[in-house]
Structures are given as structure tokens and as C-alpha cells.
Amino acid sequence: MSIYDIGIETAKGEQETLTPYKGKVMLIVNTATKCGLAPQFDGLEKLHQDYKDKGLAVLGFPCGQFLNQEPGDNSQIQQACKLNFGVTFPLYGKVNVNGGEAHPLYRHLKDRAKGALGTKAIKWNFTKFLVDREGRVVKRFAPTDKPEQIEGEIARLLNEN
């Protein structure tokens, strides 16, 4: 199965896939507005603004699995991200990233890019997955890897084609 075939839910509850992002580099991130790493929204937004016209799609997937640091519903999350962090990149419906209820997108990502010591589980909010223009998961970044630290790898992927 291709990453583009996986069903995802928009923040408004509509079903779609990642097909609109075919041919783009994607940075897929599990987000949480109440997390101590939430200032990374600023860096993610900067990447979005700097590279969206060059083929980057930053995609946020809110998740409340880590100490319930994303307690709101989809509407509240959208509002908090816009008002508190100025987020304009797409945020999708709230998902689980681990366990039996893990979203199929995250099962796909974790199968193709393992974490430290070969683990599959997502350790915390703001784990980032970089996907190339062909839909291949090329790298997984730790929650503490700031967006500006991975900018060079994003730019390299964008310049390959």
C-alpha cells in the first residue's frame, strides 16, 4: 500500500487521502498544543512558509496519547494552533500514534522509519517523519529535533528533483 492510499480525516471530519501531496516532500508531525515542545509550531510554520512554494507540505496530526497534552477536540485544536502559534499549515483530525488504535498512517510511518535502537513506538509529541516526492519515508526525527535543525535535509530533498 502506498502512503497516498491511506485514509485520513480532516479536522472537519471529512475523509480524504494524502493523494493531493503526490510529488511533494512531506513533513508529518504528531502535535500537541499543551506540550512543552509546542514552541516547535513556530519552526514548523516557518518551514511551511519558506518551502511551501518549493514543494514542501508540513502536515500536523494532533495526538493526545502523551499525558493528554492535546485535550481539545478538532475545532479547539485548530483554533489554539491558529491563535497561539499562527499555524497555517494543514492540521488533520486527532489521531492515536501508538497501540492497537494507532492510525494506519502512523503504522505505515513507523514500519518504514524506526526510532532509536530500532523501536517502532512513537516516544513523544513532535516526532517528525520526512517523506520524499515519491512517497517513501526517508527519515524519522526525534521530538527534540527542532524544525530548524532538519531544514537542510528538507532542502536537499526538495532540490533532488
Query: Residue 36 pLDDT more than 90?
Result: yes
78 CB neighbour count, 10 Å cutoff = 17
For residue 91, the 8-state DSSP code is: B
Catalytic residue among 28, 35, 44, 80: 35
The three-class DSSP label of residue 137 is strand
Yes or no: domain 3-13+37-151 corresponds to CATH 3.20.20.140: no
Residue from 139, 154, 157, 148 nearest 45 by CA:
148
Residue 35 annotated in active site: yes
Over residues 102-124, the pLDDT tens digits come to 999 999 999 999 887 788 999 99
Confidence bin at 90 (pLDDT 50/70/90): very high
Backbone angles phi, psi at 9, to 5 degrees: -110, 130
> What global pTM score does this model have?
0.96
pLDDT above 80: residue 160: no
Euclidean distance between CA atoms 17 and 3, whole angstroms: 9
Lowest mean pLDDT among 33-37, 81-85, 103-107, 154-158: 81-85
Distance CA 13, CA 86 (A): 22
User: What pLDDT does 161 receive?
Assistant: 56
CB 140 within 8 A of CB 113: yes
